[in-house]
Amino acid sequence: MINDRHARIGCGMNGLQTSRLKTKVADEVRFLKNWIDKPLTTGAVSPSGKALTRLMASFVSPVDTLPVLELGPGTGVVTQALLARGVAPGRIVSVEYNPQFCSLLAARFPGVSIVEGDAYDLDLAFAATEGCRLSAVVSSLPLFTQPLPKRRALLEGLLARMRPGAPFIQFSYALVPPVPAVSGAYTVDVTPWVLKNVPPARVWVYRGVGGA
């Protein structure tokens, strides 16, 4: 009887692990397919790893009440990290270009506002957050696929809707910042390399300077 009970428990654990593995593999297949089909809008061949997503989420205050704008959530690995951080789902507004990813996100995170559209469309982003100032922006967009003026317009447009010091959080695999800092306007800090991520990545954190 003891051996049978242990066998049943073991099967249950293996079943849970198998389910998680299937979900992870399915997400990676979705990402790879979208990267092949649309490499300029899907910036990686697989979702970011837990070490990277936790680091990104660590810059977001879980106790603030203002909205958190997430750009390019993909399959939701950063969304999940924000929720694990303690950010209330009702605060998160996620803007995703891919309609398949939007359907997946809506099913996985029913309390999060999922908006289908172009994350570079600032009017869309502002409408989605109902004109509120932002507590943080968390971006997984492949910024380096866009020209610098477009990257700068996105960053500066969103920083203008945030309180001074509020973080615009962006990861990348590059050696240089996606947008150079502008003295007197905004600063940028960078974390050490997250070597557990494939490929290794860093997190760049921009903060506005000056009046609200």
Taking only the tens place, the pLDDT of each residue in 3-55 is 444 334 344 555 555 555 556 556 555 545 654 555 545 455 457 899 999 99
Of 49, 52, 92, 43, which Cα lies nearest the Cα of 72? 43
Percent of residues in the chain assigned helix, strand, coil, to nearest 5: 40, 20, 40
Residue type, 102: C
The predicted-structure confidence for 155-171, as pLDDT tens digits, reads as follows 999 999 998 899 999 99
- Measure the CA–CA gap between 172 and 142, rounded to whole angstroms: 8
pTM of the model: 0.81
Count how many domains the chain has.
1
The predicted-structure confidence for 101-149, as pLDDT tens digits, reads as follows 999 999 999 999 999 999 999 999 889 898 899 999 999 999 999 999 9
Is 196 inside a domain boundary? yes
Domain range for 133: 50-208
Say which CATH number the domain at 133 has: 3.40.50.150
Helix/strand/coil for 167: strand
